[in-house]
Structure formats: structure tokens, C-alpha cells
Structure 1
Amino acid sequence: MAASTSLTPEQLSLRAQIAAHELWANCQDPAAHTLPARQAFLDRFERKVDPDGVLDPAERARRAEHARKRYFKTLALKSSQVRAAKAAARREGGAAA
């Protein structure tokens, strides 16, 4: 295939989608394939609550769970705010972004 500099953004997106479908079509164990990424994502919360690694593992895990829940609740709040703003814009007759 030609160099990516000669592809449009739409073509780059399609190429990435093709590659993703190829990956998952040939993947024997999707959970095992994504385990390192999931573990890295969760580990960041432990590093956030205990950057020096001095807490008892159970306490670090407890705090990390709360940090993770906070992260997802924050995402949910932001999503809710954006949806509400778009709904208000539609009610007012404006176009939502």
C-alpha cells in the first residue's frame, strides 16, 4: 500500500479499521490479548494513590478502587453535561456541536 502521507484521513481511518478487524478475526483469546493494556490502565490508579509504594497492598488496592470509581464517575458527569447542553441547544433551535 502507498505511504500513509498519500492517504486521506478517511482512508487512514478505513485502513485502521481493516487492520483491527483482521486482528480480532485471527485472535484466539481476546481477553488475553487485551490483558496487558487493561492491567496497565488499572495499575495507574495504584501508582496515583501510592506513588512511593509504601502502603499496605490491601490499602493501596482499596484506595485505587476509589480512584478508579472517581475517574469513571467524572467521565459520566462530563458526558451528562455535554448531553444536557446539546439537548438545551436543540430545544432552543440551535445546532448542537
Structure 2
Amino acid sequence: MDPQDRSLRARLAAHTSWANTPDPASRTAKARAAAFDRFERRAREMHPDATEDQIAVAAAHLKKAHYTAMALASARARRAKAKSA
């Protein structure tokens, strides 16, 4: 199967799966919780004496920093690709 057909077939399967999911948030809840736990653990390592509220704030900022770093890397990659095209 060529790559385009494989991609379309996978996209069709994903859309069908999500269409059959009555509550998408519950389907992804465990994964989202696990991802946030990683930021919370890091916040606790950085601030072992912090209160729960302080840990929550630090974890939220670590999460935002992570996604901002990903956005920056993506923007740089797009610029590099555009220059080489």
C-alpha cells in the first residue's frame, strides 16, 4: 500500500473510532492525567517544601513551558523547511 493510501486509511479509522466515542474526554482522561503527573512530579522535585497549591501552579507553568518549547521547535522547523524549498 502506498504511503498516501495508508495515511488516508488510518485517518478514516481514527475518525470512525472518534465518531463511535460518546464521551471523548473520558476516553483520554487517563492519558491527560498521566501527562500532568509528569509535570507535577517535576514540580515536587524542584520545590520539595512547597504547598499543594504552589506545586499545582509550578506544574501548570512547567506544562505551559513544555508546550511553548514544542511550538518554538515546530516554528523553527517550518522556517528551515521553507528556506530549503
Into which bin does the TM-score normalised by the smaller protein fall? 0.7 to 0.9
- Distance apart, 1:16 and its partner CA: 8.7
**Pairing partner for 2:68 from 51, 64, 73:** 73
> Structure 2: which 5+ residue stretches go unaligned?
none
1: distance between equivalents of 2:21 and 2:80?
40
Task: Render the CA deviation track for 1:27-47: whole Å, top value 9, x for unaligned.
Answer: 221111111111111111011
User: Radius of gyration: which is bigger?
Assistant: 1
**Pairing partner for 1:26 from 20, 34, 59:** 20
Whose relative contact order is higher, 1 or 2, with alpha carbons under 8 Å and at least 6 apart? 2
The number of residue pairs the alignment matches comes to: 82
* Aligned-pair Cα RMSD in Å: 2.7
Identity rate, percent: 35
- Distance apart, 1:23 and its partner CA: 3.2
Task: Render the CA deviation track for 1:30-88: whole Å, top value 9, x for unaligned.
Answer: 11111111111111101111148642111001111111111011111111111111111
TM-score (norm 2): 0.73
Aligned to 2:21, the other structure's residue is in SS state: coil
2:81 corresponds in structure 1 to: 86
> Structure 1: which 5+ residue stretches go unaligned?
1-7, 91-97
Amino acid at match of 1:72: Y
2: distance between equivalents of 1:68 and 1:79?
17
TM-score (norm 1): 0.66
2: distance between equivalents of 1:15 and 1:82?
25
